Structure 1
Amino acid sequence: MRLLLSAELLKLVKQSKTYYALGSIMVIETLILITAYFQGSTILDLLLDNLKQSFYFEGTLLNGNLIMYIVLNSLWFNVPLILMIVTSGIVTDEYKDGTMQTVMLQAVKKWKFITAKYIIAVLFTILVIGFMMLTTFILAYAIFGGGDLVVYLNTLNFFEAKDAFHRICWAFASGAVAMVFYCVVSLTLAIFIKEAAKTWIAAALFLIITTLLLKVDFVIPAINSFFFPKLIDTWQQLFYYELDWTQILINNALLLLYTLAFGAAGTYVFHKKDIG
């Protein structure tokens, strides 16, 4: 297994898609920073116009913590789509160039081979989210500095700078769980579909449907509590004024179980199907 992991890691380091993914993250961050720099104050003034008539605000609310929160919102669609495209290529590329068939002719157990790919996909996802958090922190604080955070979730919530930073860090950790889920799903889809373009379409469709189902209130309460689309936005719960840590931990644990289930399904199918 160690040799398989080393080989998969080497492939990931050498393929250009890895660096395109990191570059795409930087582009998203840069666009957010540019927009915030030139138009952020105007947007905040519109948002807080009524409150400013009743309250006095000291300091600026356009700060590094707000920028980090805005970047976090790219976890809804942009970042998972990029990650799903890159991680699915771990399998589809090898089907396309015939590497998969060549490897299977060797004394390699199929379940170990595909498990190594899942592990590398997860590590890559965590690396990207860590890179995203670190670069955003450096750029946002260097340009805008620290400060209190204002978030609109049904109502305006205000958090002091220290509390805001802690919440943002935990939100990135919770968001990483959601991104790992999406990447494992994309790798499983790649095992079923094999072709890159079709897998990308299926992954994008899965992402869109999951996002839409998040907004749907089902009649059965259990579905609203345990169905995986309802768990994707757990990171955002960290920005409600009153934190329900028990529910946040349960949601992330359930999402990890769904991740394992999709991974197990992909491993089983890969182990049973003919590689051709």
Structure 2
Amino acid sequence: MMKQLLYAEFVKIIKQSKTYYALGAIAVIELLIFITAYYQGSTILDLLLNTLRQNFYFEGTLLNGNLILYIVLNSLWFNVPLILMIVTSGLLTDEHKDGTLQTVMLQAVKKWKFILAKYITAALFTLLVIAFMMLSTFALAYTIFGTGDLVVYIGTLNFFEADEAFHRICWAFASGSIAMVFYSTASITLAIFIKEASKTWIASALFLIITNLLLKADFLPAGFNTFFFPKLIDTWQQLFNYKVDWQQVGINNVMLMLYCAAFAGLGMLVFQKKDIG
């Protein structure tokens, strides 16, 4: 039964137009980043490194594919998760709107399996989108701008040689994909509570904004940061510290996966007890 449910969910997400609008929106974001970098990237870098150029000699160009990839990664803060939340929440809100949910529930389908299939589909769809985003950006960035050393600003300017930058970017995409799955999971849970598509989108945007605001909040005890999910969503950014605390990165990602399971568990519990009508 679960295989049939998963197949049905994948057919739905492939056929719905929102899926392709989402991929198109991500492609547009990438394109805008490429255009801006191509025409203004050197100017921005000159402003950033003006003081350093007075004391150091830089060989080669720092406006390269690795820098473009890092800039694209920064769309994981808001743009990409919002798009993903809108699409994945539609797996449930569309069925409420069309009335097909009641029809499905009249069949010999267990409610927990039905909603679990949606969570799994949302997670797999999210991973596929991030993979598409990663591969397309890698191909275009290296083709147009070539490779080279990476400079990023995280409190201080950090420099990484091309090979090390490539590996850090790959790990950052992997870590960022877990954060995106978390947001997709949260959107399904919100859809269970709210039902209506437009209200779920607003709630998803609000959830995303609040999470990002709490990420920057400093009023919480330091030891609480390891367990509070808003403090975990920037784990991919920690991979660009000069010295990476790999143990902390691993703990953060495991905690995020546990939060995904907790949000999914909450949604399944509520859906199991909720009257579908």
Indicate the TM-score class for this superposition, using the shorter chain for normalisation: over 0.9
Does residue 1:22 correspond to 2:23, yes or no?
yes
One-letter code aligned to 2:169: I
Contact 1:218 / 1:224 at 8 angstroms: preserved in 2? no
Inter-partner Cα distance in structure 1 for 2:166 and 2:173:
11
Shift of 1:213: 0.3
Shift of 1:121: 0.2
Does residue 1:46 correspond to 2:47, yes or no?
yes
Shift of 1:222: 2.8
- Which digits, 9 at most, give the CA deviation of each residue in 1:177-228, with x for residues without a partner? 0000000000000000000010000000000000000001134233222100
Aligned to 1:196: 197
Inter-partner Cα distance in structure 2 for 1:25 and 1:100:
30
Aligned to 2:93: 92
Contact 1:146 / 1:161 at 8 angstroms: preserved in 2? yes
Matches within 5 A, 1:161-172: 161-172=162-173
Aligned to 2:248: 247
Contact 1:84 / 1:183 at 8 angstroms: preserved in 2? yes
Question: TM-score, length-normalised on structure 2?
Answer: 0.99
Inter-partner Cα distance in structure 2 for 1:16 and 1:72:
25
Inter-partner Cα distance in structure 1 for 2:223 and 2:87:
33
Local SS of the residue matching 2:158: strand
Inter-partner Cα distance in structure 2 for 1:230 and 1:221:
10
Inter-partner Cα distance in structure 2 for 1:222 and 1:151:
27
Inter-partner Cα distance in structure 2 for 1:225 and 1:269:
27
How has the CA–CA distance of structure 1 residues 72 and 266 changed in structure 2, closer, same or farther, with 3 Å as cutoff?
Answer: same
Aligned residues: 276
Contact 1:61 / 1:149 at 8 angstroms: preserved in 2? yes
Does residue 1:135 correspond to 2:136, yes or no?
yes
Local SS of the residue matching 2:58: coil
Inter-partner Cα distance in structure 1 for 2:37 and 2:167:
22
Aligned to 1:146: 147
Matches within 5 A, 1:121-132: 121-132=122-133
Runs (5+) with no aligned partner, structure 1: none
Inter-partner Cα distance in structure 2 for 1:218 and 1:179:
25
Aligned to 1:230: 231
Local SS of the residue matching 1:232: coil
Local SS of the residue matching 2:232: helix
Local SS of the residue matching 2:234: helix
How has the CA–CA distance of structure 1 residues 205 and 32 changed in structure 2, closer, same or farther, with 3 Å as cutoff?
Answer: same
Inter-partner Cα distance in structure 1 for 2:202 and 2:220:
30
Runs (5+) with no aligned partner, structure 2: none
Local SS of the residue matching 2:233: helix
Q: Name the stretch that deviates more: 217-226 or 253-262.
A: 217-226
Inter-partner Cα distance in structure 1 for 2:222 and 2:156:
25
Inter-partner Cα distance in structure 2 for 1:9 and 1:155:
44
Inter-partner Cα distance in structure 1 for 2:104 and 2:220:
49
- Which digits, 9 at most, give the CA deviation of each residue in 1:5-31, with x for residues without a partner? 011111111111111111111000000
